[in-house]
Structure formats: structure tokens, C-alpha cells
Amino acid sequence: MQDSQEVRAMLDRIGEFRNESLTDFSLSKNEIAFELALGQVISDIGRKHPLLIGGEEVYTGQTLKSTNPARPREVIGVFSRAGAVEAGSAIEAAGEAFESWSRTPTTERAAILLRAAELMRARRHELSAWMVYEVGKNWVEADADTVEAIDFLEYYARQMLELELVQVIQAPGERDTLHYIPLGVGAVIPPWNFPLAILVGMSSAAIVAGNTIVLKPASDAPKIAWEYARILGEAGLPPGVCNLLTGPGGVAGETLVDHPRTRFIAFTGSKEVGLRIHTRAARPRPGQNWIKRTILEMGGKGAVIVDETADLDAAATGILVSAFGYQGQKCSAGSRAILVDEIYDTLLEKILEQAPEMLTIGDPARREHTLGPVVSQRQYETVLDYIEVGKREGQLLYGGKAPDRDGYYIEPTIFGGVSPDARIAQEEIFGPVLAVIKARDWQHAIEIANSTEFGLTGAYYSTDPERLAYARREFHVGNLYFNRKCTGALVGIHPFGGFNMSGTDSKAGGPDYLLLFTQAKSIAEKLPE
């Protein structure tokens, strides 16, 4: 509960939120700067990294190697593996830090996020370069990831200040206030596909709201998390507010979810893991006197619908970008293209014509390559298995092979004539595979789009206002886009989160998100007569 004049003064000083601009790599100065960053970070690979618990570096007997999916024998870093003991210690450290951090003025908490954003700007290309090497992002995708991370820091700092100024109607003879207070200790479990943006978004929201956290990054992307933890420390975050555990999710992850001091779990990842977390969190443990809150963003099976009124050239481009951006390893990916019968053959031909020029495979460290490897051997095998399923379920029109080269590369793959209930049209593949489905008409296309268990993203290409109005009501996804791709949500503009088995519709990057990390306390004081 901070003086409102101080909060207003800070908001006036920092100004309105504005999205960070993407890097224009067509400018030679930017291309040279990124090349230098790639060379700078590659000279630092292979180092050993400890856990961070209560501000202390903790090395364990077991380690995890992070490798470059483009060159799997290249070790990016060696990281200590956390187990149940370390997870318990991290929760205790977060619990101790909560006593003081929860009472830290909101302006101070917001200022730390803003300082972290400035440090990220200064190291922007360095952070992006780590993502090129650790998770196989191309230059543009890595830069967009870093930009989104900066946006989250800037946006949530302002949003928390705004929450301090919320006012309620005053009853006669009373002083009435509403305060948003932190929950407590939380577990933050981000994914590997947006290893900086989503990690920063979930953790910074929790922290600026006054909570303390144990951050458990994906085992395929620990280096990015380590660099972020360093930035938070340099920005002035006190020890124990953010504790970093690296290693596989099994034992450590279950300890975080089950621990009676854990107040909330923020998770982004697969449906299967998300549901398991939700189930485990629902069971109270001895010594626990609250219902744990789960903030879950899970899978997707995005659909791009195109009807006969659409700009077919634009739709073809939008379908390819939606399906194959970052090798299709996005929960928002448009992995289904649903085309009405009247333009099915014509648009499919345009898609196949554009694909060779747009989808160039190779080492993402080179700017000209748009598609890098999938992230791991496990992902590689899973996607290839789905391609074999697709060969039985549809007509292979493009790709479908794994190039004979080092790295986890898979050709962008397009199947036509896919049934709406086929496995490749229903299950999340999380790889460069597109299922093209024919619909009788535009209404049938929306029915098909709604036929999966997911409800995250979708796009509809049409110039008919009545059809778009119908889609606004009936296309059941959390993020719906008209006449554009279904990926690339912007912080503050496209609050992100989905329906059904896509999660709890948390709406990251929107005005409601911080409420998930707080609890509202209403205070009424009777005034003397």
C-alpha cells in the first residue's frame, strides 16, 4: 500500500508503454552487429553453471548439458541438475525473501523491472545470439523473442503501478479501498520454444506483484535462463526473490508443485504436463492452508481459414508463415489450413509455389536460412513419426524428409486432402508439418476449425464483413486474427491465452494478467461522525 502520489509521479515520469521495435536486418549496420554478437557468445560456450538459491551458487554432483540443435556435439553449457533437496531449499529461500520483498514499495519493484529492460536492450543481440545457438532460432525469430521479453518487463512494470491506483466507490461515512497483494512463493516453469520471452513474462509478472519464485526453465534452454538471472541480479533484485533451478523436470518439478509452501504454479508447455500439474496442485498437502493457483498455457492446433472472397496470394503467405515460423514449434502455429472447396486447388498451388523461396533450411546462425533444426533428438523423432502417420492420412505434397546432414533438420512438410478428424489434424505435432483440409463452404470451415480439443489461435482470410462478424462470435479461440497470420501476438495489443485444453486463458501481456499473481483485499473503515 503505497502513497498514490509517488505512484502517479513514477507513471508520469516513465510515460506510456510502447512496443520495442524489431531489428531491421536489411541494414548493414544491424547485420554486422548481429554477426559480432554471434561471434562473441560462441567464444563463451561450454562453461559450467551452478543453481542459484537464496543468492548463493550451488553446484550439484550431477549435470545437464545444453547442446546446439544445429550441431548436437557442440555443448553450449554444462548446468547443475537440481533434485528434490535443491527444490526444497529454493522454496525455503523464496519463503524467507518473501517477508521483505512483499513489503517492498511497488515503485521499487517496478523500477527493477525497468532497469532489467534497459540491460536487455544493451545486450539485445547477445541474448538473441544465445537463442540461435541453444534452441535453433533464426535471426528474426530470436530478435522477436528478445523484443517481447523487453516488452513484458516494460508493460508489467506499468501495469503493477496502475493496480496501486485502483479506486472503488465510497460508501457514505466510510473510507473504502481495494489493494492487490501478492500470493506468496510460486513455481514458474517456462518452455523452451520462447526461452526468453515467456520465461521473462511469467517470472517478471510474479515478481513485480510482490511474490518470490523458483524458476525452473526447460532442460533444452537453461543458458537463456541463466543470462536472465544475471540481468535480474544486476538490476538490483534482492537474493532469494528469484531462485534458479536447472535440470530435468521430473523430481524437482514435482517437488515444486507439491510443496505446501508453494502458493501458485505458472506453467507453459504441453497439455499432458499442464494437466498433471493442475491435478497435483489441486490436492492439499499437510501444512497447506490455501488452494494453489495454477496459471496454465498449454497446447494449440491453430487453423487458418480461407474463403473464396480472400486475397489468395496474401493467404498463401500467411499460411506458410503461420505453419513454419520457428519450424512450427509454436503453440500458436497455424498447423491446419482449412480452404473452402471453391478455391482449394488454386490456393494450394500458390502455397506450393511460394514454399521453396520462403522456406530455406540451414544453420540458423546464417541470416539467409529461415528454417533451422527442431530443438532436440526427442522432438526430431516425434515429428518424423507424425510425418509417417501423415503419409497414411493424406497426400504428401511437399517435403517429408530429414536431410542427410548434422543437426535435427526436418524438411517443411505439407499434406493435402487431410480429413478433419485425422491425427495430424487433431494432435499437436509441434514441428514443421501442415495439414491442408477442404471445407464445403466457409461455415463448414469454422466448424472444422472448432473441432479440436484446443482453442488457442486461429486466422480467417475473408473480405466479407458478415462472415467476419460470424467468425467473431463462433470461431472459438483465445486469439483470433483476420486477414493476417495467426502467430506473433504483441504485448499490450494481443493479450495471449487460449480456451479449452489450451489452458486457463491467462491472457499474458494484457491488463488482466497481473491479477493472476495477486489477491484483492478490500478494506472498509468507518469514519468518525
Instruction: Please tell me what DSSP assigns to residue 375.
Output: S
Q: Which of 294, 17, 324 is nearest to 158 (CA)?
A: 17
Instruction: Supply 344's cell numbers.
Output: 482449394
Q: Which of 141, 227, 297, 308 is catalytic?
A: 297
Q: Which of 392, 391, 409, 411 is nearest to 401 (CA)?
A: 411
Instruction: Supply 360's cell numbers.
Output: 530455406
Q: Which of 81, 54, 51, 52 is nearest to 65 (CA)?
A: 81
What is the spatial distance between Cα 189 and Cα 255, in angstroms, rounded to a whole number? 13
Helix axes 124-135, 28-42, angle to 10 degrees: 60
Instruction: Supply 453's cell numbers.
Output: 480439443
Alpha-carbon distances, residue 313 vs 339, 343, 353 (angstroms): 13, 12, 10
DSSP string for residues in 450-464? TTSSEESEEEEE---
Contact between 210 and 181 under an 8 Å Cβ cutoff? The reply is: yes
- The runs of H, that is alpha helices, within 282-427 are 312-324, 344-358, 377-393, 423-426
SS3 at position 238? coil
Q: Which of 164, 331, 393, 486 is catalytic?
A: 331
What is the spatial distance between Cα 311 and Cα 87, in angstroms, rounded to a whole number? 53
As a three-state string, the secondary structure of 33-48 is HHHHHHHHHHCCCCEE
SS3 at position 244? strand
Contact between 213 and 206 under an 8 Å Cβ cutoff? The reply is: yes
Q: Which of 448, 515, 11 is nearest to 293 (CA)?
A: 515
Instruction: Supply 26's cell numbers.
Output: 536489411
Instruction: Supply 520's cell numbers.
Output: 484483492
Q: Which residue has the cell 520495442?
A: 20
What is the spatial distance between Cα 345 and Cα 306, in angstroms, rounded to a whole number? 12
**CB burial string 33-60: b at 16+ within 10 A, e below:** ebbebbeebbeebeeebebbbbeeebeb
User: Has 331 been annotated as catalytic?
Assistant: yes
Catalytic residues: 297, 331
